[in-house]
Amino acid sequence: MKRRREILIYDRDCVFCRSTASFLSKFGVFTVPIQDVYHVLEEFFSENRVPFALYLIDEEGIWWGDYAVFKFLKNRKLGPFSYLSFLIYPVLKRLNRNAERINNQRGICGCTLSGYKNLPAEKLKEVFEKLLKIT
């Protein structure tokens, strides 16, 4: 069985993000702090500032917030249980006091955002190569 390629990008200054990254790395997800790869993400969000958030990049695209958790669960073939991420993640991010502090001090925290972008295979290959070289 072919192993799925996944990279989780997280904010190393956020306890919530760090804890999530540590947990997901136990399932074989490669993790890297956003502070080290911010410039790579700018390519996806060129028209906007890139929020500090959890990003999951896999063989289909880039996912953030509860969509990242959904995609992680879906990649593990959990079927309908994958949709629990849309119930659980909002509760967890409400408990994240760091997100409130970041929102108050620096503007928007990515913990409060969710979404995804499907990307062409050649672009994803390029991104994987860049990210793996950095770490």
Instruction: Of 29-38, 50-59, 69-78, 115-124, give the lowest mean pLDDT range.
Output: 50-59
Number of domains in the chain: 1
- Domain for residue 41, yes or no? yes
Is 76 a residue whose pLDDT tops 60? yes
CA pair distance 103, 99, nearest whole angstrom: 6
- Domain for residue 1, yes or no? no
For residue 111, the model assigns a pLDDT of 65
Is 133 a residue whose pLDDT tops 60? yes
Burial class (CB in 10 A: 0-12, 13-18, 19+), 100: middle
- Domain for residue 2, yes or no? no
Average pLDDT over residues 27-56: 79
CB–CB of 29/76 below 8 Å? no
Is 88 a residue whose pLDDT tops 70? yes
Contacts for 75 with CB less than 8 Å, ≥ 6 apart: 4, 6, 58
The domain in which residue 14 lies consists of 7-134
- The pTM of the full predicted model, rounded to 2 decimals, is 0.79
Q: 108 or 25: whose pLDDT is higher?
A: 25
Retrieve residue 15's tokens. Answer: 């306890």
